[in-house]
Amino acid sequence: MNEINEIWDSVLAQMAEEISAVSFETWIKTVEPVEIKGNEIVLSVKNSLNKNMLVTKFRSMLESCIEMAAGRTYELNVTVEAELPGTSAAADSGEEFASGLNERYSFDNFVVGGNNDLAYSTALAVTETPGRKYNPLFLYGGSGLGKTHLLQAIGNKFHELYPNKKVLYTTSEKFTYELVNAIREKSNREFRNKYRTVDLLLVDDVQFLANKEVTQEEFFHTFNAIYDAGNQIVLTSDRLPSETPHLTDRIKGRFSMGLLADVQPPDYETRIAILKSKIENEYFTFDEEIIEYVANNIRSNVRDLEGAVKRILAYAGIERTNTISIELAQKALKEIISTLPKRNITISVIIDEVEKYYHLPSGSLVTKKRSNDIAYPRHIAMYLAREVLDESYPRIGEEFNRDHSTVMSAVKKVRKSLQGDKELAEKLEDLVNNIRKN
Ligand code: ADP
Ligand code: MG
């Protein structure tokens, strides 16, 4: 094990003694030691909230723990993961074309089971006879169940089969964002050119078109242009068009006129098959017993299954063992299971907790009121939704009945005032602790 990891292990042990368990879990355990660079120890954290907490609240404690561990002083250099080049989600997961496609997703590495076979076979059919059979194909189902994977696989296969045709993958949020920019910059013509002339349009997460009338209007025309030209559209959503509130009837009508195919959580056999496929290229071998243990304990979705495998592999790496014991798997899963409650945290939980914290009547943060006693906590709640939940600006805007630019500027404001404001850092720490108890 290299020096930085040894030092960091000792720092963790010391910090665990110094601060509360919740603070430790939230602020310290999430830190990744990166490297020692001259007089600096480089650490990486998930977001600016974690960074601000480290530098405003824990810096001196950390520096003295580091000194104890290393026998000399180092300065802290804290970087935010998303800001490091090459570590964004897209860069992390493979190459990206201008088409928005990511080669990581294919039909070959998609495991088919009773929970997703309709979605899989219709997706494949679309690449074989685009524009003809199922148009649009509408894939729907819960989070982490493979919708984006299938959508991307369609795009990649299509590109392989028809290299001269145009494919475009986008999300409804990106579509909205680009439309808003096009309107502002009076570049509607380029926008239309980009979207209406493709042979295959893939739009992820269309549930976020809800409430956005102007975008729905534009999307309706985009849809028609592509459809009328005999080209193919594939959409995904977390629910059926008919169950999506605040979509215009004509959009719902368009979405439902092809085929609606659902993806469900994987059953036990499919979970086993997925786990096997995720570890087949790994250096470590997993006994059947361990695969069964994971499949029995992680039932929610494929994303969590992948997370479980990654954890186990990371533990095996740390313990420098090449055989994975059931104890090791249990230890690794305990972590995941203990972070699972996080799944219950939603924007509305954050709103509730912030209202309680500031002694505001329930619901006041989502009203239109602008007085300072409400506006300030509202900014804090928006900031937390962004940093704790990693929610997108449009999603947060929806919950607060504001547009995404309002949310962006609120988040920016809080970020700025956090710099050096120890009191605010402490308030946020309390708030996050309250939120995580949910
Ligand atoms: P969704 O878009 O439905 O939230 P994703 O497509 O992002 O879910 O899937 C989450 C993760 O699980 C991705 O890494 C994806 O590759 C993987 N995944 C989902 N379903 C399968 C499957 N059937 N076989 C293999 N990997 C899968
Ligand atoms: Mg998705």
Among the candidates 83, 105, 137, a domain finishes at 83
Largest separation between any pair of C-alpha atoms in the chain: 71
Residue of 303, 304, 305, 390 to mutate, ligand 1, most atoms within 8 A of C-beta: 303
pLDDT at 140: 97
Task: Render pLDDT for 172-192 as a digit per residue (tens, 0 to 9).
Answer: 999 999 999 999 999 999 999
Note whether 160 and 118 are same-domain residues.
Answer: yes
Note whether 255 and 272 are same-domain residues.
Answer: no
Whether residue 279 lies inside any domain: the answer is: yes
Domain harbouring 53, CATH code = 3.30.300.180
How far, in whole angstroms, is CA 128 from its chain's centroid?
Answer: 31
Task: Render pLDDT for 313-345 as a digit per residue (tens, 0 to 9).
Answer: 888 877 777 788 999 998 888 866 654 444 567
- Sorted by sequence, the CB contacts under 8 Å of residue 425 that are 6+ apart come out as 52, 53, 56, 57, 418
Note whether 104 and 211 are same-domain residues.
Answer: yes
Whole-angstrom distance, CA of residue 314 vs CA of residue 308: 10
**Please, are residues 145 and 302 in contact by the beta-carbon 8 Å criterion?**
yes
Which residues lie near ion ligand 2 (Cβ < 5 Å)?
Answer: 147-148
Residue of 111, 302, 306, 343 to mutate, ligand 1, most atoms within 8 A of C-beta: 302
Whether residue 246 lies inside any domain: the answer is: yes
Whether residue 133 lies inside any domain: the answer is: yes
Among the candidates 286, 315, 338, a domain finishes at 338
Task: Tell whether the torsion through CA atoms of 240, 123, 264 and 437 is positive or negative.
Answer: negative
pLDDT at 255: 97
Task: Render pLDDT for 363-405 as a digit per residue (tens, 0 to 9).
Answer: 999 998 889 899 999 999 999 998 888 788 888 999 999 998 9
Task: Render pLDDT for 118-173 as a digit per residue (tens, 0 to 9).
Answer: 999 999 999 999 999 999 999 999 999 999 999 999 999 999 999 999 999 999 99
Atom of ligand 1 nearest to the CA of 142: 3
How many domains, the chain? 4
Domain harbouring 308, CATH code = 1.10.8.60
Whether residue 314 lies inside any domain: the answer is: yes
Note whether 250 and 105 are same-domain residues.
Answer: yes
Note whether 152 and 257 are same-domain residues.
Answer: yes
Six-digit token string for 106: 């294919």
Which helix or strand (DSSP H or E) is residue 193 part of?
A: helix 188-196
Spatial strand order of the sheet with 167-171 comes to: 167-171, 200-204, 232-237, 137-141, 259-263
The residue range of the domain holding 147 is: 96-262
Among the candidates 211, 245, 262, a domain finishes at 262
Whether residue 121 lies inside any domain: the answer is: yes
Whether residue 90 lies inside any domain: the answer is: no
Note whether 13 and 77 are same-domain residues.
Answer: yes
Whole-angstrom distance, CA of residue 115 vs CA of residue 146: 11
Note whether 408 and 303 are same-domain residues.
Answer: no
Ligand 1, atom 9, lies closest to the CA of 146
Helix (H, G, I), strand (E, B) or coil at 252: helix
Whole-angstrom distance, CA of residue 221 vs CA of residue 274: 39
Domain harbouring 197, CATH code = 3.40.50.300
What average pLDDT does the structure give for the chain? 88
Atom of ligand 1 nearest to the CA of 263: 3
Taking the CA of 143 as reference, the closest ligand is: 1
pLDDT at 89: 40
Note whether 240 and 131 are same-domain residues.
Answer: yes
Taking the CA of 274 as reference, the closest ligand is: 1
Whether residue 315 lies inside any domain: the answer is: yes
Burial 325-344 (b: 16+ CB within 10 A, else e): eeebbeebbebbeeeeeeee
Six-digit token string for 388: 């704790």
Give this prediction's pTM.
0.62
What is the percent of the chain with per-residue pLDDT over 90, rounded to a whole number?
Answer: 60
Ligand 1, atom 1, lies closest to the CA of 144
Domain harbouring 370, CATH code = 1.10.1750.10
Task: Report the pocket of ligand 1 as residue ranges, CB < 6 Å.
Answer: 105, 109-111, 116, 143-149, 274, 302-303, 306
pLDDT at 337: 67
Angle, helices 288-297/302-318, rounded to nearest 10 degrees: 130
Note whether 242 and 384 are same-domain residues.
Answer: no
Q: Ligand 2 centre and the CA of 171: distance in Å?
A: 9
Note whether 245 and 389 are same-domain residues.
Answer: no
Ligand 1, atom 26, lies closest to the CA of 110
Note whether 227 and 364 are same-domain residues.
Answer: no
Note whether 331 and 379 are same-domain residues.
Answer: no
pLDDT at 82: 59
Whether residue 91 lies inside any domain: the answer is: no
Task: Render pLDDT for 214-265 as a digit per residue (tens, 0 to 9).
Answer: 999 999 999 999 999 999 999 999 999 999 989 999 999 999 999 999 999 9
